[in-house]
Amino acid sequence: MIKPEILAPAGSLEKLKIAIDFGADAVYIGGGKLNLRAFSDNFTNDEMAEGVKYCHDRGKKLYVTMNVFPRNFDLKGVEEYILSLVELGIDAIIVADPAIIVAAKEVAPNLEIHLSTQANTVNWKAAKFWHEQGIKRIVLARELTFNEINVIKENLPEECELEAFVHGSMCIAYSGRCLISNYMLGRDANKGICSNACRYKYYLVEETRPGEYYPVVEDDKGTYIMNSKDLCMIKHIPELMKSGIYSFKIEGRMKSEFYVASVVKAYREAVDSYMADPENYEFKEEWLDTLSRISHRKYHTGFFMGKSGEQTYDVSSYVRDYEIVGVVQSYDDETKIATILQKNRVYDGDELDVLRAHTPNFNVKLEEMFDVEKKVPATVANRAHMIFKAKVETPLKEKDMLVKCKKGLEL
């Protein structure tokens, strides 16, 4: 059995390190050009070099997205940019357009190329065609079922890898090819600046009755709204393992550090548990509990199970019951004092959950808080990135994330 790759998003250098620390086998990032997340903290060359080193020192990989659909003017400097990525030591580029594939083959023939989900690969002949053009890995369209994926895998050479999204936001448009944002706000989804207009709350207005708004609803025949649930396949690890998918991809380059750590941790533990003993594998509710704490929309299995019309619903709001309030910088075993970087408001006496890589979650209590900058005792850490100390009876480690339930608490 081939152990699949867990591929995590990294919208910043800090998130890259968190993803690797929590168990990702590889990360995908955006550089300075031609990626579909214009609003994320895309990497400078210096940050990319540090990220490559951080990954390679730990036996992990780093991929760079170049997955826009470029116009003629976008192609200026593409060859030079690709060569700069090669010099930095990246492991592969993720592309959607033949122009970038051609440019990469011309100037960097040994560079590994992955075909983005934006290319809408939904059948085995298309996958085989792309492989014959020099594509090492096909990132499948999100709209495929397990049965369709199995057929694709059966008709491809062994060396052609398949990658599929297993967790994160879904798009109402076919593999993200959407014009709504561009039409309404002039922000092109295919250039990385999507406004997520599909998430807005819509009403119908009949042209002769201005001011009379009719809610868009769902009936027993299906849904007529555009907002998608979030994909979550944590309960279906055995099916994923048997599908022929080599890389389990997590969506979310614009998501938080808390999101990256939690999702990678859950899928890492689930995959490792299955690999250790496939015959006696059992799903653990703690994995879903970890995923339920991050900001998310209602979860769904997407198209994998062949059920259409169930991935959309009439509520666009996120579930945000938990938040990260601090990251441990150090812990003194003798005094039991933790030094903590504040992320959100936290009070002296708060009971918190600890999110740690490769470790079951556990609870701690903060006591005797102390403001390091002002050098005075503190009842609350309420300044952005405030450094404070607190007595914690249970030993902590550097990089532990402290998580707080927001329900019923003053924020």
Segment 171-216, tens digit of pLDDT: 777 666 677 777 777 877 666 677 777 767 767 777 788 887 766 6
Q: Minimal CA–CA distance to 152: which of 113, 125, 114, 116?
A: 125
pLDDT of residue 223: 47
Instruction: Please tell me the distance from the alpha carbon of residue 363 to that of residue 351, in angstroms, as a whole number.
Output: 7
The predicted structure's pLDDT at residue 171: 75
Are 288 and 326 found together in one domain? no
Which residue among 300, 333, 362 closes a domain?
A: 300
Q: What is the pLDDT of residue 312?
A: 61
Task: Note whether 330 and 296 are same-domain residues.
Answer: no
Same domain, 99 and 246: yes
Domain total of the chain: 2
Distance of CA 115 to CAs 8, 33, 177, 339, 395, Å? 17, 17, 15, 44, 45
| Cα 223 to Cα 218: distance, rounded to the nearest angstrom | 4
Mean pLDDT of all residues in 99-108: 97
Taking only the tens place, the pLDDT of each residue in 64-92 is 999 888 889 889 999 999 999 999 999 99
64 in a structural domain = yes
How far is 138 from 130, CA to CA, in rounded Å?
Answer: 8
User: Is the domain of 289 the same as that of 253?
Assistant: yes
Whether residues 39 and 144 fall in one domain: yes
Shared domain check, 155 and 65 = yes
What CATH number corresponds to the domain at position 128? 3.20.20.80
Asked whether residue 308 is assigned to any structural domain, the reply reads no
| Domain range for 147 | 5-173+227-300
State mean pLDDT over 24-34.
Answer: 90
Within this chain, do residues 60 and 168 fall inside the same structural domain, yes or no? yes
d(CA 387, CA 362): 23
> Distance (Å, rounded) from C-alpha 328 to C-alpha 338?
7
Contact between 283 and 232 under an 8 Å Cβ cutoff? The reply is: no
Selection from 111, 58, 66 nearest residue 87 by Cα: 111
Kindly tell me the burial class for residue 392, based on how many C-beta atoms sit within 10 Å of its own C-beta (0-12, 13-18, 19 or more): buried
Q: Is residue 18 part of a domain?
A: yes
- pLDDT (mean) for 234-257: 95
Quick check: is 243 in a domain? yes
The residue from 300, 332, 349 where one domain ends is 300
Residue 408 confidence class, pLDDT cut points 50, 70, 90: very low
Position 315 scores a pLDDT of: 60
Residues 227-235, mean pLDDT to the nearest whole number: 90
Specify the 3-state DSSP secondary structure of 204.
strand
Q: Beta strand pairing status for 376-377 and 401-405?
A: unpaired
* Residue 335 falls inside a structural domain: yes
pLDDT, one tens digit per residue, over 328-338 is 999 999 999 99
The reply to whether 242 and 327 lie within a common domain is no
**Average model confidence (pLDDT) across the chain:** 89
Please tell me whether residues 49 and 149 are part of one structural domain: yes
**Are residues 137 and 272 part of one domain?**
yes
Tokens read off for 186: 């002039």
